[in-house]
Structure 1
């Protein structure tokens, strides 16, 4: 009987270790160091294994553990009231629209002194901030890729702060251009994403860091899951965000002894002004097609490139327009006495898929969930005798497949 018990037992223990360990990491890692977290992980696993010996059902037991974890996490938050906003200054980049614009309004309404940068002081976003915010908000025209503009913004901020430091620096400005396969992505797009999303953020951070250190404040970097997960057709954007993530984590370790908290926020998919603009997508696609070499365009085909554009456009149109999960997280990162090092703002099924599932299953689900390509590259179609939809051109059985699409 013992031989029949051993195999299921170890399978069971491995599965329980995976899920309970992942839950403990999710719940406790922001609050504990590596040693106590590992002890909690192993202790919870052994506890579940022992309780299983008393014939407690596994599913109710896991639900109970999850409920206890949520209660614990909420109790910690409830014991520590948020820090007051009065007298605290926050500098936010990229406030023309999207997260930056919404965050500037919320932080101003809470009583923070907000320095909001925009690319265009005469634009709709800047005018909306002037109209809806208090006199505490200061608008600054800054292109974060231009060092002289960053330095001028620093001087203007210092002039208003006087002898005070800067409580919060929110690096929000970012760009995503010409979505497509890595081979099709123009080098200018790789450079542009790196200049804005990485080098621009590094430039602003290094410039304003002395003010943040003076206040023992916070640096909040708005990144993306694309910097951690290999989303198809986001090589340029994802690479820049991956560089930003590593920079942020390194900075977090280096500034710990200064009393400065460094936080990464990874929003899920949201629809911003540019992503809901059909003309924007058409212009991006046109520029990409014009920039491709004749050889690449022949190998992939214009229909392949255009389908990618259509898929991303459709994906963005289904994305949420409610920025409140991201804005709430920014406020929490700036106001919590014990902010987490990383926040995932909004529901993200892809985060669970990437973190917990095997690679083969992860790849399959990612293709079905994120980018459902139906058009194959032209060269592969010719080689295999397939039409644009991946079907054999001389067989009529493709009608059913095309009807299902």
Structure 2
């Protein structure tokens, strides 16, 4: 009797945790909660009855899992919305997600406005060559207010009295790598300038057109904005600010009929992620601008390993962008678009571990998933630093330019480099 009671309470405890987690997800996705809660209560009663009949807790949980797997298939399929006559504005179309999305949406009949940094660049030229006459290329740097206003004027001129059905916020950059303490202030500002303030400015500017059409806002963000990926503090902080802004906007635009979705991609080869010249430039600039004492504490070998790990991770990134492009399309044409889309292999598992596992296990999973560091900072190594390493680091510092001046002006220099190299493709 006591064994049966123990099995019952184990099954009920596990089930309560699962139901509680599921309800939290349901409330976060704005799904109609009435029928769903009724279904979960029914499952709860079923598991309770199975337990009372003496069946093992494992069997009861297996029944619950089977129901969870089958529930999505009970909903009848809903036809997507028509694409003809609907206009979509996409940022960051020089390469990556933006370029692929522009081609896909144009092929499906959307009227696409594709913003690029360089109208004469390879990406813009390819879009002009392969897409229909419906596509409009617009030169726009999302950090420049004048560019955004000119883009709005061109869009309104073509739309006339029509509203804008979709805004795809895709443009973004990752301008640094390394520990939070090693990241220069110019890198934090650079990420915020593009990923947050730039996207904020574009969204605010085009909102009147979106409200007129009761359209959609689709934003390509990153899991690093919600989870503490090692060595991505600057990029993650900018995406965290973006995520909060977009979620707040989602609540505020609900009365206007504008639906807002966020896409959280896995690792894909986009933008400068596979550009070895870019990573070398970042690495050299970091060495030149770190305070000598801090460089001595961490050691150049520690930072070199970080750079190499980033490059290895970029090489293993997925080249098939279709998971992200498919979610962008679904967010634009589904009658009931999701609030959040997990695009790419492994993202769902990562969020499951982040949501339901202890934080210690979740942190360890992220550390192993992203950068598997083997080299300790020099100050933490048992034998400490040797004189030759210190001498080499001093030589590096002596050849560096004025630190304050370089750090302050770096964002401007990097931004010119970005325009020349077409850096406004999203880094997922």
> Is the shorter-chain TM-score for this pair beyond 0.5, marking a shared fold?
yes
How far off is 1:43 after superposition? Answer: 4.5
Q: Assess if the C-alpha contact under 8 Å between 2:8 and 2:52 holds in 1.
A: no
Corresponding residue number in structure 1 for 2:177:
179
Q: Establish whether residue 338 from structure 1 lines up as the match of residue 336 from structure 2.
A: yes
Map 1:181-196 → 2, pairs under 5 A: 181-196=179-194
Q: Assess if the C-alpha contact under 8 Å between 2:11 and 2:61 holds in 1.
A: no
Q: Assess if the C-alpha contact under 8 Å between 2:15 and 2:61 holds in 1.
A: no
Given candidates 258, 274, 279, the residue that maps to 1:260 is: 258
40 and 24 in structure 1: CA distance in 2 versus 1, 3 angstrom threshold = farther
Corresponding residue number in structure 2 for 1:91:
89
Q: Assess if the C-alpha contact under 8 Å between 1:25 and 1:41 holds in 2.
A: no
- In the TM superposition, what whole-angstrom CA distance separates every residue of 1:116-141 from its partner, at most 9, and x where no partner exists? 00001111110110011000000001
Which ranges in structure 1 are unaligned for 5 or more consecutive residues? Answer: 389-405
Q: Assess if the C-alpha contact under 8 Å between 1:116 and 1:139 holds in 2.
A: yes
**Whole-angstrom distance in 2 between the partners of 1:227 and 1:47:** 39
How far off is 1:380 after superposition? Answer: 1.0
Q: Assess if the C-alpha contact under 8 Å between 2:143 and 2:193 holds in 1.
A: yes
Map 1:220-369 → 2, pairs under 5 A: 220-347=218-345, 348=347, 349-369=349-369
Which ranges in structure 2 are unaligned for 5 or more consecutive residues? Answer: 387-428
How far off is 1:277 after superposition? Answer: 1.8
How far off is 1:9 after superposition? Answer: 3.0
Say which SS state the counterpart of residue 193 (structure 1) adopts: helix
Given candidates 67, 70, 88, the residue that maps to 1:68 is: 70
Map 1:112-261 → 2, pairs under 5 A: 112-261=110-259
Say which SS state the counterpart of residue 51 (structure 2) adopts: helix
How far off is 1:174 after superposition? Answer: 0.3
Say which SS state the counterpart of residue 328 (structure 2) adopts: helix
- In the TM superposition, what whole-angstrom CA distance separates every residue of 1:273-309 from its partner, at most 9, and x where no partner exists? 4111222221221111112111111110111111111
Corresponding residue number in structure 2 for 1:51:
50
Corresponding residue number in structure 1 for 2:397:
none
Q: Please say which of residues 42-51 and 217-226 is displaced more in the overlay.
A: 42-51
Alpha carbon RMSD of aligned pairs, Å? 2.1
Q: Assess if the C-alpha contact under 8 Å between 2:88 and 2:112 holds in 1.
A: yes
Corresponding residue number in structure 1 for 2:407:
none
Q: Figure out how many residues of one structure are paired with residues of the other and give that number.
A: 381
Q: Assess if the C-alpha contact under 8 Å between 2:262 and 2:339 holds in 1.
A: yes
**Whole-angstrom distance in 2 between the partners of 1:203 and 1:213:** 16
**Whole-angstrom distance in 2 between the partners of 1:32 and 1:154:** 33
Corresponding residue number in structure 1 for 2:420:
none
Q: Please say which of residues 105-114 and 365-374 is displaced more in the overlay.
A: 365-374
Q: Assess if the C-alpha contact under 8 Å between 1:24 and 1:40 holds in 2.
A: no
Q: Please say which of residues 111-120 and 58-67 is displaced more in the overlay.
A: 58-67
Q: Assess if the C-alpha contact under 8 Å between 2:98 and 2:171 holds in 1.
A: yes
Q: Assess if the C-alpha contact under 8 Å between 1:105 and 1:133 holds in 2.
A: yes
**Whole-angstrom distance in 2 between the partners of 1:127 and 1:298:** 47
**Whole-angstrom distance in 2 between the partners of 1:214 and 1:106:** 25
358 and 41 in structure 1: CA distance in 2 versus 1, 3 angstrom threshold = farther
**Whole-angstrom distance in 2 between the partners of 1:137 and 1:316:** 31
**Whole-angstrom distance in 1 between the partners of 2:293 and 2:36:** 54
305 and 22 in structure 1: CA distance in 2 versus 1, 3 angstrom threshold = same
197 and 41 in structure 1: CA distance in 2 versus 1, 3 angstrom threshold = farther
Corresponding residue number in structure 1 for 2:396:
none
189 and 36 in structure 1: CA distance in 2 versus 1, 3 angstrom threshold = farther
Q: Assess if the C-alpha contact under 8 Å between 1:212 and 1:218 holds in 2.
A: yes
TM-score (structure 2 length as normaliser): 0.84
TM-score (structure 1 length as normaliser): 0.89
- In the TM superposition, what whole-angstrom CA distance separates every residue of 1:53-103 from its partner, at most 9, and x where no partner exists? 33272464144213322313xx34x1x211100000000000000000000
How far off is 1:107 after superposition? Answer: 0.3
Q: Assess if the C-alpha contact under 8 Å between 2:96 and 2:270 holds in 1.
A: yes
**Whole-angstrom distance in 2 between the partners of 1:97 and 1:107:** 15
